[in-house]
Amino acid sequence: MNPFLSAFICVTVMTTLSNVTAQTRRQPVDLLVLGGTIVTMDETRRIIDDGGIAVSNSRIIAIGPRAEIESRYTSRQRVNASGKVIAPGLINGHTHVPMVLFRGLADDLDLQEWLTKYIFPAEAKNVTEEFVRVGARLGLAEMIRGGTTTYCDMYYFEDAIADETAKAGVRGVLGETIIDFPVADNKTNAEGMAYVEKFVARWKGHDLIVPAIAPHAPYTVSEEHLKAARAFSDRTGAPIVTHIAETKREVDDMVKAKGASPVAYLDRIGFLNDRVIAAHMVWPQGTDIAILKKRGVGVVHNPQSNMKLASGVAPVPRMLSEKLFVGLGTDGAASNNDLNMWEEMDTVAKLHKVFTGDPKVISAQEAFELATIRGAQALHLEKEIGSLETGKRADVLVIDRDTLNQIPLYNIYSDLVYATKAADVETVIINGRLIMRNRRLLTLNETSVKADARIFRDKILRSLSTTGLAK
C-alpha cells in the first residue's frame, strides 16, 4: 500500500473514532445556548464573553466559556447567540396583568379619582373570568416580547390567570385578592378565603406558578382579615402579596386610625415576615425600613406608576444602602401604560438621580440588579431565579445587540439599562423551554390574543357609555 494512502486512512479512521468518542463522552442535554456575552448577575457579577449555557430538566446545569460547554454537552436544540447578549430573564415584581385591557382608558387623573370614577366602575361592569383570561394573554404576550420571564400579580379570578400563565409557559407569583368589599369573583371575605384555599392547593408545587394570597392593602382589609391571611400563609407557605404605603394620604389616615404608620401597624399585628411582598412603599416612616429589613419583607418599587399617579418617590437609594430586598415592577398597565421592564430600569436610575441631586445614585448595574437578582430576592425566589448560575432555573434572554439604538457598546450595564429596548429582545427561554424564538411567540397566538382584546375593548366602552364615563 502506498504509505501516504495508508497514513491518510489511518488518520481518517483515528479522527472518526475520536469524534465518536467525543460525542459519546458529551452529555446530551435539553438545550444549549451558545456564543454571545453572558451577563450572569451571579455573586461576582461575572461577565462571560463567547459563553455557553447547558440546560437540562428546566435548570442550568453548566455555564462557562462556549468552547468548554460545547466540549462537555450536546443537544439537538441549540440557540446560537453569537454577537448577542445573554441575560437572566427580567422579573416584573408587581402588576395586575388583566388591567392591560384598561390601558389608556383614563389617564392624567389623581389616584382617588382614577380608582373611584373610572377603574372600580369599569371593573365592576367588566371583570369576569373570561375578561381576566383575555387580559392575561395580552399582558403575557407583551411581557414575553419584552423579556419578562417572571411576574408577580394581584387580581381577581387568579386561578384563571394561573392557568393562562402556565399555558403561556411564564413564571408567576400570583396572588388572589382579598379585600373587604364585594369584588368580581368573591362577595365576602369567607368566599375569598375559600377561593384562596382551593387556588393554593391546586397550584402548590407547580414548576412555574407560585400561588399567593393577596390582601389588597392595610386600609382596605381589616385587622382580623389581615391576621387570617397571615395565618393562611403560615399554614400553606404561600407568599403574601400586598400594597403598602403607596400614598402619603394612606400613611396619614393610618396614623390617625391606628396611631402608627402602615408598616408599624402591620408589624404590631404580626403580619410582616419573609413571605410578604410589599408593592410601592413610597412613604416609609421613622424606623419602617429597619422593620422591613428585620422581618425580611420584599419591597417592589414601581417608579413609572408612582410618577404617573403622582404618588411620590420611594427612598430606594436608602433602601438599598440598608440592604432591603428591593425589586422593580410596572404596576398595572392602566397606570403606566405598559408592562415594559426596560423602561422601568431606565426610569429608576434617572428618577433617583434627579430626585436626590446625586447622579451617581442607582448606577446602571444597580438598576439591572433591581430587575433581576434583587427582584428575585424581593419575591423570595433568589434561590431559583434572578441570575444565570448552575442549579438555577433556566430563565434566559438572548438580546439583539445590532439595533441602531444600541450602537456603539462600551459598557454592558449602560447598554442594557439606558439603551436597550423591549423590541431588542430576540429569544426568551423560561424554565428551560423556548417561549419566544427570533421574536416569534411560541406559546401564544398573537393574532387571536389581539383580536380577543379588541372585542373586550368594545364591551368596556359600551359598558361605560351607559354610565356616562366614556371620554
- Relative orientation angle of helices 158-168 and 189-203, to the nearest 10 degrees: 20
Is residue 59 a contact partner of residue 392, using CB atoms and an 8 Å limit? yes
Distance CA 469, CA 461 (A): 9
354 binds its own copies (CB under 8 A): yes
Residue of 190, 205, 410, 466 interacting with its own copies (CB under 8 A): 410
CB of 164 to its own copies, least distance (A): 15
* Binders in 418-457 for its own copies, by CB under 8 A: 418-419, 421-423, 446, 449-450, 453-454, 456-457
Q: Judged by CB, which is closer to its own copies: 110, or 322?
A: 110
Count of CB atoms situated within 10 Å of the CB of 141: 23
CB of 353 to its own copies, least distance (A): 4
Which range touches its own copies (CB under 8 A), out of 254-262, 273-281, 293-301, 398-406? 398-406
* Binders in 279-338 for its own copies, by CB under 8 A: 304, 306-313, 336-338
Residue of 74, 220, 285, 414 interacting with its own copies (CB under 8 A): 414
Per DSSP, the residues of 366-397 read HHHHHTTHHHHHHTT-TTTSSS--TTSB--EE
Quick note: the x/- pattern for its own copies over 213-252, rule CB under 8 A, is ----------------------------------------
Q: Judged by CB, which is closer to its own copies: 292, or 361?
A: 361
Residue of 56, 220, 273, 363 interacting with its own copies (CB under 8 A): 363
Q: Judged by CB, which is closer to its own copies: 128, or 356?
A: 356
Quick note: the x/- pattern for its own copies over 102-141, rule CB under 8 A, is -xxx-xxxxx--x-----------------------x--x
Residue of 18, 358, 390, 391 interacting with its own copies (CB under 8 A): 358
- The owner of cell 407560585 is 210
Residue of 6, 12, 222, 405 interacting with its own copies (CB under 8 A): 405
Q: Judged by CB, which is closer to its own copies: 221, or 453?
A: 453
* Binders in 146-205 for its own copies, by CB under 8 A: 146
CB of 303 to its own copies, least distance (A): 9
Inter-CA distances, 365 with 260, 261, 341, 412, 415, Å: 36, 32, 15, 9, 10
Residue 113: all three cell numbers together = 379619582
Is residue 180 a contact partner of residue 215, using CB atoms and an 8 Å limit? no
Rounded to the nearest angstrom, the gap between the alpha carbon of residue 182 and the centroid of all alpha carbons in its chain is: 28
Is residue 221 a contact partner of residue 241, using CB atoms and an 8 Å limit? no
Is residue 384 a contact partner of residue 393, using CB atoms and an 8 Å limit? yes
Tell which residue, 117, 110, 173, 123, has the closest CA to residue 306. Answer: 110
* Binders in 62-101 for its own copies, by CB under 8 A: 100-101
CB of 391 to its own copies, least distance (A): 31
Pairing of strands 37-39, 85-88: parallel
- The owner of cell 445556548 is 33
